[in-house]
Chains A and B, each alone.
Chain A
């Protein structure tokens, strides 16, 4: 099983809503990532979890709140978002947790629209 599964695939929310994006992998990977991708742009790193601990936060606004309940699951909690936060949110995982040396496995993404 070499898949990273993201739900939901599409999400529309108002600026006052609270919603969550979910990501799951069963490859035994020890690092998990959230990326944000705007149209015609490369993925931008938001957060990295290594061995279930937050290791990198790329100065992301607090309206985005990550959570790693266990080594297979990664959530991104959304609250009071702005229309400019509309984007494709990609989850990824990699085998190593203590230093990046190999392939990132990406999910298909959750396309978020903030009205």
Chain B
């Protein structure tokens, strides 16, 4: 089955700096790669996703890049703010299945 590795497990940045979280996946058939943000006491919420026919996608301060050859994808957050502090999960899935495989999570702390 699919295996998703996520690094780093914790990341501390100063407000205004950029943050990068990286994930690798094992199954070359995976074609959908979402990122979820989980704030304390809440369920995960989708913040951005990318499909395998696209190399990069951007939404305001958040961007995701995908390298299918190397089987890795990354989340980039620019101009970080304290409200970006949360746990971020990457995930991968194959269309026509009903399963997401999550990475281990990254705890992002943005210091004011």
List CB contacts (< 8 Å) of A50-98 with chain B. 50, 55-56, 90, 92, 98
Interface of B is mostly: loop
A100 & B45 in contact (Cβ 8 Å cutoff): no
A106 & B43 in contact (Cβ 8 Å cutoff): yes
Q: How far is the CB of A68 from chain B (nearest CB, A)?
A: 14
In this complex, which of B34, B98, B103 has the most chain A Cβ atoms within 10 angstroms of its Cβ?
B98
B44 proximity list for chain A (CB < 8 A): 43, 90, 104, 106
Cβ of B80 within 8 Å of any chain A Cβ, yes or no, is: no
B102 & A43 in contact (Cβ 8 Å cutoff): yes
Q: In the complex, A104 Cα to B25 Cα: how many Å?
A: 19
Q: Mark B78-108, 1 if CB is under 8 A from A, else 0.
A: 0000000000010001111111101111010
Q: How far is the CB of A111 from chain B (nearest CB, A)?
A: 9
Q: Which residue of A lies closest to B31 (CB)?
A: A101
Q: How large is the interface on B (under 10, 10 to 19, 20 to 34, 35 or more residues)?
A: 20 to 34
Q: In the complex, A100 Cα to B96 Cα: how many Å?
A: 6
In this complex, which of A42, A98, A104, A109 has the most chain B Cβ atoms within 10 angstroms of its Cβ?
A42
What is the number of residues of chain A that contact chain B, defined by CB distance less than 8 Å? 25
Chain A residues close to B by CB (< 8 Å): 4, 31, 33, 40-43, 45, 48, 50, 55-56, 90, 92, 98-101, 103-109
Q: List 10 A-B contacts (CB under 8 A).
A: A41-B105, A45-B99, A48-B98, A98-B96, A99-B98, A100-B93, A101-B95, A106-B43, A108-B41, A108-B42
Chain B residues close to A by CB (< 8 Å): 32, 34, 36, 41-46, 49, 89, 93-100, 102-105, 107
- Beyond A55-B98, A99-B96, A106-B36: 17 further Cβ-contacts under 8 Å? A4-B43, A40-B105, A42-B89, A42-B105, A43-B102, A45-B99, A50-B98, A56-B98, A99-B95, A100-B96, A100-B98, A101-B32, A101-B95, A103-B46, A103-B49, A104-B34, A104-B100
